[in-house]
Amino acid sequence: DAKTTQPNSMESNEEEPVHLPCNHSTISGTDYIHWYRQLPSQGPEYVIHGLTSNVNNRMASLAIAEDRKSSTLILHRATLRDAAVYYCILRDVVANAGKSTFGDGTTLTVKP
Amino acid sequence: NAGVTQTPKFRVLKTGQSMTLLCAQDMNHEYMYWYRQDPGMGLRLIHYSVGEGTTAKGEVPDGYNVSRLKKQNFLLGLESAAPSQTSVYFCASSYWLATGYEQYFGPGTRLTVT
């Protein structure tokens, strides 16, 4: 299975942009890149996903490298509420739902 | 919509006892999942279901059983609890989309086995 590699932790200052990296060098052509985040004591929540092109939504932006071997989740202005564990996951839409694994993610700390 | 709900929120069991965790969703999702999350770690898939009456094993299925008798409910059973099953259990549901599947998670059940 294609796996992802993320830094264990990152820090940011409030109201500054945050770039969360993810490496996925063995990504396949049918893998979509998904991001979830988990706030303290809560279940994960969906953030954004993409295949090849950069994507934007109300929560964040996703920048995907041209070779698709890495991606970056961008929070444009971090707030204290963005402090969470961020998971980068590959979802193969050809394979079944049993390939539904979360890694250890990146713990984002936001300083006031 | 309530989304995904889990019952109970907390539970303490003695080794060897049994219990059932209930997950319910009101979004008419076909797919449902059970994960466990140990302290400081990511989520690991226990079992999942792709429709009413179907179940399949995930990454860490040993010691657990599941049932999906109704589309909106997914039950996780522990027949003989062990301390190694102390964890937070999350249920999730999703549609299956051409772009992958956006999962909706419940608030979790914190289980302690003594």
Task: Report the helix count and the strand count for chain A, using DSSP H and E.
Answer: 0, 9
Q: CA nearest B105 in A: which residue? A: A43
CA distance B109 to chain A (A): 10
The verdict on a CB contact (< 8 Å) between A46 and B56 is no
Residue A102 pLDDT grade (very low, low, confident, very high; cuts 50, 70, 90): confident
Band of residue B102 on the pLDDT scale cut at 50, 70, 90: confident
Q: What is the mean pLDDT of residues A17-22?
A: 97
CB contact under 8 A, B100 and A36: no
User: Do the Cβ atoms of A43 and B106 come within 8 Å?
Assistant: yes
Q: Quick check: B9 contacting A, CB < 8 Å?
A: no
Cβ <8 Å between B105 and A45? yes
Q: What is the pLDDT of residue B99?
A: 66
- pLDDT score for A88: 95
Q: Quick one: average pLDDT of A46-69?
A: 94
Determine the distance from the C-alpha atom of residue A94 to the mean position of all C-alpha atoms in its chain, rounded to a whole number.
21
Contacts of A79 (CB under 8 A, 6+ apart): A14, A15, A110
3-state secondary structure of B107: coil
Across the A:B interface, residue pairs with CB atoms under 8 Å apart total 69
Mean confidence (pLDDT) of chain A: 91
pLDDT digits (tens, 9 = 90+) for A60-99: 999 999 999 999 999 999 999 999 999 999 887 766 666 6
